[in-house]
């Protein structure tokens, strides 16, 4: 038991962090909500009256349609990226958990795509997938199909972004899953072998269930990270062609800093916040359920 004295000390020690959170986290959230309820635009951002419009900005954004497009785009993009990254990352993690020559070094090499700044990756992919880039060259010269205008046709543009982001995200998935794998005791596999389990059974019955905590946090982290995609899209497609790859983040940015509709930009950012908040709650709920069932 903590003594009364210690309890007070404890509270005092928490104060700096609390103030930090209030100021740097709480204040922006509250202020952003406030901003989204006003009508602040180019005419009144620094002087003049900023009328209160309630949910008017949200209503207008949903009616105008691009916000809905951007939500759908972001969800498609996020889910596709997560699924691909997870499967490939898991495959890599399993591969590199075996000890073979160069395993360590190869794993290091795979990390490169995670280490590159997203801006560089975006430019690289923009270059590779451009009309006369290496991808189209390969397709036509290897007679795999006809020339595709990757970045300027709606669906291929989205596919390009998903490929690029999957490439970026694989190492992150791999590392987290590798860490998860190392926590599984080796002797479980031994006893499973003695019981006559084959490799596939070991994977489905042992590896996956034991990786569950790692997988949960990986999926949630991955979801949040992927959902917030920004530089990649801004540079590779700028949300185009005609909003076909417009994400929530790039749309909020466009509203605020390209069209100077500051309040609508804040509203779009808040919608994004709410979606991620729900994902967060869902994660907490899953963790809690897991703990209850395991205890």
Partner 1 sequence: MKKMAAGLVMAALVTGLVGCGSSDKNDSDTTQTTTKTETDSSAATTTDTTAKTDTAEKTKLTLWFYFEGKERFDKIKALTDGYTAKNPNVEIEPVFIPFADFKKKLSVGLAASDLPDIVVIDNPDTAAYAAMGLFADITEKVNAWADKDQFFPGPWSSTILDGKQYAIPLGSNNLALFYNEKMLSDAGVTPPTTWDELRTAAKALTKDGTTGIGIAAPGNEEGTFQFLPWLLSAGATFDNVGGAEGAKAYGFLADLVNDGSMSKDVINWTQADVMKQFASGKIAMMVNGPWQLPELATNAPDLKYGIALLPKDQQYASVLGGENLGIVNGKHVDQAVDFAMYVESPDVLKDFAQGFGYFPARKDVAADPYWADNDQLKVFADNMNYAQPRGPHPKWPEISNALSEALDKTLLGSGTAEDNAKEAQAKIDKILGK
Number of H helices, E strands in the chain: 15, 0
Smallest separation (angstroms) from partner 1 to the CB of 107: 26
Residue tagged 């602040």 (tokens) = 40
Measured between alpha carbons, how far is 64 from 59 in angstroms, rounded to an integer? 9
Site map 128..167 versus partner 1, x via CB under 8 A: --xxx----------------x-xxxx-------------
Angle formed by the axes of helices 27-37 and 56-64, nearest 10°: 70
CB 192 within 8 Å of CB 202 = yes
Residue 2 vs 112, nearer CB to partner 1: 2
Determine, following the binding rule CB under 8 A, whether residue 43 of this chain makes contact with partner 1: yes
Residue 104 vs 119, nearer CB to partner 1: 119
Give the binding range for partner 1 (CB under 8 A) out of 49-57, 159-167, 180-188, 264-272: 264-272
Determine, following the binding rule CB under 8 A, whether residue 247 of this chain makes contact with partner 1: no
Smallest separation (angstroms) from partner 1 to the CB of 221: 7
- Residue 208 phi, psi dihedral angles, 5° rounding: -60, -50
Measured between alpha carbons, how far is 24 from 33 in angstroms, rounded to an integer? 15
| Binds partner 1 (CB under 8 A): choice among 77, 86, 172, 262 | 262
Contacting residues for 112 by C-beta, under 8 A, at least 6 apart: 171
Smallest separation (angstroms) from partner 1 to the CB of 23: 8
Task: Extract the tokens encoding 291.
Answer: 């703990």
Contacting partner 1 within 47-76 (CB under 8 A): 47
Contacting residues for 159 by C-beta, under 8 A, at least 6 apart: 150
> Which residues contribute to the site for partner 1 (CB under 8 A)?
21, 24-25, 27-29, 31-32, 35, 42-43, 45-47, 126, 130-132, 149, 151-154, 220-221, 224, 227-228, 230, 237-243, 248-249, 252-253, 256-262, 265-266, 269-270, 272-273, 276-277, 280, 283-284, 287-288, 291
């Amino acid at each position: 038991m903590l003594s009364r004295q210690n309890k007070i000390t404890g509270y005092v020690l928490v104060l700096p962090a609390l103030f930090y959170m209030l100021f740097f986290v709480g204040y922006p959230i509250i202020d952003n909500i406030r901003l989204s309820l006003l009508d602040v635009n180019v005419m009144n951002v620094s002087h003049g009256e900023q009328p209160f419009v309630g949910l008017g900005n949200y209503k207008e954004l949903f009616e105008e349609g691009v916000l809905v497009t951007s939500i759908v785009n972001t969800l498609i993009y996020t889910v596709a990226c997560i699924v691909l990254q997870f499967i490939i990352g898991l495959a890599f993690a399993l591969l590199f958990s075996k000890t073979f020559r160069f395993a360590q070094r190869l794993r290091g090499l795979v990390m490169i795509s995670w280490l590159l700044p997203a801006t560089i990756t975006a430019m690289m992919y923009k270059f590779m997938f451009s009309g006369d880039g290496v991808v189209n060259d390969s397709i036509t010269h290897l007679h795999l199909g006809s020339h595709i205008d990757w970045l300027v046709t709606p669906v291929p543009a989205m596919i390009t972004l998903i490929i690029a982001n999957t490439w970026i995200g694989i190492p992150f998935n791999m590392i987290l899953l590798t860490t998860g794998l190392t926590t599984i005791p080796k002797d479980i596999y031994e006893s499973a072998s003695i019981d006559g389990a084959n490799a596939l059974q070991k994977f489905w019955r042992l590896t996956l269930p034991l990786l569950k905590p790692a997988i949960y946090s990986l999926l949630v982290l991955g979801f949040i990270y992927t959902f917030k995609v920004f530089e990649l899209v801004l540079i590779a497609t700028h949300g185009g062609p005609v909003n076909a790859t417009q994400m929530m983040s790039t749309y909020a940015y466009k509203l605020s800093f390209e069209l100077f509709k500051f309040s609508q930009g804040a509203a779009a950012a808040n919608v994004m916040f709410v979606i991620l908040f729900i994902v967060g709650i869902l994660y907490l709920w899953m963790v809690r359920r897991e703990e209850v069932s395991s205890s």
